[in-house]
A = this chain, B = another copy of it.
Amino acid sequence: MIKAAVLGYGTVGSGVVEVIQENNRLIADRLGCPIEVKYVLDLREFPGDKNEKLIVHDVQVIMDDPEISVVCETMGGSGAAYEFTKAALSKGKSVCTSNKELVEKYGPELLKLARENNCNYLFEASVGGGIPIIRPMNTSFAPEQIQSIKGILNGTTNYILTAMAGEGADYAGTLKKAQELGYAERNPEADVEGHDAGRKIAILASLMTGKTVRYEDIYIEGITALEAVDFAFADKLGRTVKLIAEAENNDGDISAIVSPRLLENDHPLAGVNGVFNAVFVTGNMVGDVMFYGKGAGKLATASAVVSDVIEAARATLDKTALPCVWSEEKVSLVAHDEKKERFFARVRDMYADKFSGKLSGAEDMGSIDGWHGYVTKSMSEKEFMDVLKTSGVDARYIRLD
């Protein structure tokens, strides 16, 4: 019997308890022994809840109980969650988490602490919710030099972009509708400004390199500046607007950017719609592989946490360390504005001649709703900004894939 504790009885935490209890018999069959949730830590009481009697308010009860070998950290944040994770690992209790902020900030430190205490720190649920991606990165792609990772890693923004593309609607109205439907938070900043996707690609980029790619170093652009006319031009280009979080290894030059991109309609990521997420990985041997699924949601995310609990439990029984190469050594990223890209740019019709005169080699996309569109040749954003400056024209632009 493996006994586990869950820290935080919120959406994901209560989902973890539900998955373990609901699928208990088949989990026991597969693991070879049952898993029981012995404690749930929460400041609140849950009168009438079927797990009411599992609630404890003092984390020390969990830390001091030698029966607890696995702890699920589903609190979020990097304050108490950080302290509790360190305390658990120091006591040789494996920790499984859905907390991307904590993983991004302290991943290598916590992995090291786990190894020193013969236990494991696992974080499948921190990226892509129910999509298996962390474990494949650590195992399936172990023979691969990963060349690029491109992800649709945020369901809120993908829901908004899908709606804008389908309905020709504007950003503000679509966001409002998403909020009403519960697909966007009342304060949507972390999602729509790309920060959430940024933390997730920082984790994936770190696993890609085996070193640390810091979230703070990643250039991040959200979706708030996109307008209906961008989608009209995308359509004309045979492309789709997606918020892409990407990390590339170009012969050792590592880059990481989160920004809207125009993907060709037949790219597998272009068909990922609504709240679904996907991660598109390219390795030097395996080629292109894509993982698709629910990037968020109570039970999908909880399922990923529980898959880690089962692995942690097995590793506890076997006394083994699960594979994860992620050192504290920091990766220097290529400056985002020095990477060669192609850009879609639009300027007001009246400035079209002035602008195109300075933009050699660009493809003319014609005019829509008072805007004239262009697709540039491959150039750095810095070079593109120089064109803007010398032309004296204000342009809106989006990266191509």
Using A143-B303, A286-B303, A320-B320 as known contacts, list a sample of 18 further A-B pairs with CB atoms less than 8 Å apart, ordered by residue number in A: A26-B145, A27-B142, A30-B142, A31-B142, A130-B287, A132-B140, A141-B307, A142-B310, A143-B306, A143-B309, A143-B310, A268-B271, A283-B303, A285-B299, A289-B294, A290-B291, A291-B291, A318-B318
Given A311-B139, A325-B29, is A297 in contact with B287 using a C-beta cutoff of 8 Å?
Answer: yes
| Interface bits A191-227 vs B (CB < 8 Å: 1, else 0) | 0000000000000000000100000000000000000
> B130, A289: Cβ atoms under 8 Å?
yes
Contact code string A305-324 (vs B, CB < 8 Å = 1, else 0)? 01101110010001011010
Give the B-binding residues of A (Cβ under 8 A).
Answer: 19-20, 22-23, 26-27, 29-31, 124, 130-132, 135-136, 139-145, 210, 266, 268, 271, 273, 283-294, 297, 299-300, 302-304, 306-307, 309-311, 314, 318, 320-321, 323, 325
| Complex-state Cα separation, A306 to B143, whole angstroms | 6
Instruction: With a 10 A CB-CB cut-off, give which of A124, A144, A283, A286 has the most chain B CB atoms.
Output: A286
With beta carbons under 8 angstroms apart, the residue of B140, B299, B309 that contacts A286 is: B299
Contact yes or no, B304 A140, CB < 8 A: yes
* A20 neighbours in B (Cβ, 8 Å): 143
How far, in whole Å, are A132 and B289 apart by their CA atoms in the complex?
8
* Contact indicator A300/B286 (Cβ below 8 Å): yes
Q: Are A293 and B293 within 8 A (Cβ)?
A: no
A26 to B283, CA, bound (A): 13
Contact (Cβ within 8 A) B141 A285? no
A selection of 5 A-B contacts at a CB cut-off of 8 Å is: A142-B310, A286-B294, A286-B303, A287-B293, A287-B299
Choose among A136, A139, A273, A311 the residue with the greatest number of B CB atoms under 10 Å from its CB. A139
B289 contacts A292, C-beta separation under 8 Å: yes
CA gap between A145 and B27 in the complex, in Å? 9
Report B-chain residues with C-beta under 8 Å of the C-beta of A266: 271, 273
Partner of A292, one of B30, B292, B294: B292
Chain B nearest CB: distance from A362 CB in Å?
30
Among A27, A210, A287, the one with the most B-chain Cβ atoms within 10 Å of its Cβ is: A287
Residue numbers in B under 8 Å from A271 (CB-CB): 266, 268, 271
Q: Let me know if A268 and B285 touch, CB within 8 A.
A: no
Q: Please, how many angstroms separate the alpha-carbon atoms of A136 and B127 in the complex?
A: 16
Shortest Cβ distance from A325 into B: residue: B30
